[in-house]
Amino acid sequence: MWELVKAGGWLMTPIVLCSILALVIIIERSHTLQFNKVAPNRLREQLITRLRENGDIGRTQLMNVKEKTALGDILATGLLYRQYGLESMTMHMQNRASVQVHQLEKNINMLGTIGAIAPLLGLLGTVLGIISSFLAITDGAMQDPTMLAAGVSQALITTAAGMIVAIPALVAYRYFQRRIIDINAQFETQAGLMVQELYDYQLLEHNYALNTPVQNIVVDDFVEGERSIDGLGLDKAATAIL
């Protein structure tokens, strides 16, 4: 293996570095983007059940749920802000979902970049190898074929190495992109189901304004005013008669 790397020339160094970086990203993202670690199946049911049984969930418990998983962060944030109404709750859940999706996309673009530049590095090595072969011909490589073979082998090795690095990187890049889309859809589904269950079980907290007392006060003032006006009118009428 080392002999092939040496035969490929100096361009094999960035290709090898790209392969190592791509391998690290693939292993790390494969470990991170697991559904049971990002969006546990029964998390929403557990939160709703606890909320129905106890009437509320403590802030400390919700903060623990937020720190464990990405879906827990979204759902717990919604429960923390449900006292401010549905609009505020939805807005905060959307913000946390955007943050979590951004975290899930970490290093994915780097993987796509590696898949794009690795073939270019191999192509560059091919061009340099062919150039060295032609230069060897002008220097009398027809009498010494080994001088011609060195340039050809460099061209073939770098091309093959670039393809070997690029193909798995692009496959993993597309796979992780699709996985993130599926996880995001799961976020939206679970958040929507939680809001629906909060409605169904009447677990949403509403901040009702004290409209009835205010209206009563206004009506009472209005009635008192009319009485005083009527009283004033009667006084005026009595004064006129007198």
pLDDT at 188: 95
Task: Please state the rounded mean pLDDT for residues 210-224.
Answer: 36
Percent of the chain with pLDDT over 70: 79
For the beta carbon of residue 185, count every other beta carbon within 10 angstroms. 11
pLDDT at 129: 86
Q: What is the pLDDT of residues 23-70, one digit of tens each?
A: 999 999 999 999 999 999 899 999 999 999 988 899 999 999 999 999
Band of the pLDDT at 231, cuts 50, 70, 90? very low
pLDDT at 225: 45
Q: What is the pLDDT of residues 128-158, one digit of tens each?
A: 888 887 777 766 555 566 666 777 888 889 9
For 222, the token pair is 């209005």
Query: Using CA atoms, how far apart are residues 167 and 165, in angstroms rounded to an integer?
Result: 6
Nearest Cα to Cα of residue 117 among 67, 63, 61, 173:
173
Q: SS3 letters for 81-115?
A: CHHHCHHHHHHHHHHHHHHHHHHHCCCHHHHHHHH
Q: How far apart are the first and last CA of the chain?
A: 126
For the beta carbon of residue 97, count every other beta carbon within 10 angstroms. 19
